[in-house]
Amino acid sequence: MRLLFTILFALAAMSAHAEDKSKTALVIHGGAGVIERNALSAADEKAIRADLDRALDAGNAILAKGGSALDAVEAVIVVLEDSPRFNAGKGAVFNAEGGHELDASIMEGHTRRAGAVAGVTTVRNPIKLARAVMERSKHVMLAGTGAEKFADTLPDIVRVPNTWFDTERRRKQLDDARAKKTTAIDVPGTYFGTVGAVALDQNGHIAAATSTGGMTNKRWSRIGDSPVIGAGTYADERCGVSGTGWGEFYIRAAVAHDICARVAYRGDAIAVAAEEVVNKVVPALGGDGGAIALDVDGNIAMPFNTSGMYRAWIKPDGSRGTAVFRDDE
Ligand code: ASP
């Protein structure tokens, strides 16, 4: 009898494990910031949600066929970089010189491999170059002309003139910021659009990625949190995070790493860890923004302290959604 129970128990445990193993999850963001219902037209909202859905589909297609979390987050980011509606790749904000400097990073949790680029100007998809830094160089982070020179050695990295990233909407934001002598930090409504993704694959591996044009009217080769591993992006064996918000504060609070450290060292639930850092630690310093996070069981958290955050998800049970405003989930 006892043997029978032992065998039944072992079989049940094995099937639970097998079931667990095939679970995947994906959470993405298109930036946090001042997103008021009355300022976002129905047509724009529809188009943004459609882009988020396309990005989810691109990532999920990879996860569903057993592909890696790393491939999935890259695929998500490429869709959002190519959309003119987000502050990453095409549609990136303008800097003070009237050009674009793009930042991106990617990290694979179980190997802790990471790659990042900062201030690149001719790379159509900065996330692809960030991944190349991780996989095809001995480095973690390359910036400016050096990153461009590295891209010169990689025929598969597509290059574009800097003006290719231009959009009218972002130019108007620069004109407004110049007139008011501000950066996006001070101009409500211009401060969002960074993109990010975190995925859990069938092997239980996590990856995270973030890409941005930074802040409108930025000067002096300003670099935000997005390409900084541990600040804007982080992943380990149990947890992955991509942040969006006022980058200076995200760097100072090491936001992405702090969330995962709380999970690793204190055993915090991902929702508790993400909520505390985004809604307590960052505001206490004077910053704002949001983050997406997931854990190795596929639990998802999407806290933010701004009026909105473009976000979308597919949970392990297959349920999916997109959301913009606070009361939207
Ligand atoms: N965190 C980005 C930066 O500071 C901006 C954003 O998320 O909107 O460059």
Q: What is the DSSP string of 27-82?
A: EEEEEEE---GGGS-HHHHHHHHHHHHHHHHHHHHHHHTT--HHHHHHHHHHHHHH
pLDDT in tens, 247-304: 999 999 999 999 999 999 999 999 999 999 999 999 999 999 999 999 999 999 999 9
Q: What is the pLDDT of residue 191?
A: 59
Which residue has the CA at smallest separation from atom 4 of ligand 1? 247
Q: What is the pLDDT of residue 19?
A: 47
Q: Is 236 in the pocket of ligand 1 (CB under 6 A)?
A: no
Q: What is the pLDDT of residue 17?
A: 43
Ranking 14-28, 30-44, 198-212 by mean pLDDT, the lowest is 14-28
Q: Is 224 in the pocket of ligand 1 (CB under 6 A)?
A: yes
pLDDT in tens, 154-163: 999 999 999 9
Q: Is 194 in the pocket of ligand 1 (CB under 6 A)?
A: yes
Using the atom order of ligand 1, give the atom closest to the CA of residue 87.
8
What average pLDDT does the segment 105-114 reach?
98
What average pLDDT does the segment 59-73 reach?
98
Distance 258 CA to ligand 1 centre (A): 18
Which residue has the CA at smallest separation from atom 9 of ligand 1? 214
Q: What is the pLDDT of residue 311?
A: 97
Out of 3.30.230.10, 3.60.10.10, 3.60.20.30, 3.40.50.300, which CATH number does the structure's domain 23-325 have?
3.60.20.30
Q: What is the pLDDT of residue 328?
A: 82
* Residue 214: pLDDT over 50: yes
Distance 226 CA to ligand 1 centre (A): 6
* CA distance linking residue 180 with residue 122, whole number of Å: 29
Q: Is 31 in the pocket of ligand 1 (CB under 6 A)?
A: yes
Q: What is the pLDDT of residue 327?
A: 80
**Does residue 6 carry a catalytic annotation?**
no
Distance 246 CA to ligand 1 centre (A): 5
Q: What are the residues facing 210 on neighbouring strands?
A: 105, 196
* Residue 7: pLDDT over 60: no
In what helix (H) or strand (E) does residue 150 lie, and over which residues does it extend? Answer: helix 144-152
Q: What is the pLDDT of residue 267?
A: 97
Q: Where are the domains of the chain?
A: 23-325
- The alpha carbons of the chain give a radius of gyration, in whole angstroms, of 20
Which residue has the CA at smallest separation from atom 8 of ligand 1? 192
Share of the chain above pLDDT 70, in %: 90
Of the pLDDT bands very low, low, confident and very high (cuts 50, 70, 90), residue 52 is very high
* CA distance linking residue 239 with residue 260, whole number of Å: 6
Share of the chain above pLDDT 90, in %: 81
Q: Are 65 and 59 in contact (CB under 8 A)?
A: no
What average pLDDT does the segment 20-30 reach?
87
Distance 64 CA to ligand 1 centre (A): 30
Using the atom order of ligand 1, give the atom closest to the CA of residue 247.
4
Measure the CA angle with vertex 118, ends 307 and 194; round to 5°. 20
Which residue has the CA at smallest separation from atom 7 of ligand 1? 244
Q: Is 244 in the pocket of ligand 1 (CB under 6 A)?
A: yes
Distance 109 CA to ligand 1 centre (A): 22
Q: Is 196 in the pocket of ligand 1 (CB under 6 A)?
A: no
Q: Are 159 and 153 in contact (CB under 8 A)?
A: no
Q: What are the residues facing 290 on neighbouring strands?
A: 244, 304
Q: What is the mean pLDDT of the chain?
A: 92
Q: Is 95 in the pocket of ligand 1 (CB under 6 A)?
A: no
* Residue 226: pLDDT over 60: yes
Using the atom order of ligand 1, give the atom closest to the CA of residue 215.
9
Tracing tokens 């990453």 back to the chain, one arrives at 88
Of the candidates 194, 212, 244, 322, the residue annotated as catalytic is 194
What average pLDDT does the segment 129-149 reach?
98
Q: Is 119 in the pocket of ligand 1 (CB under 6 A)?
A: no
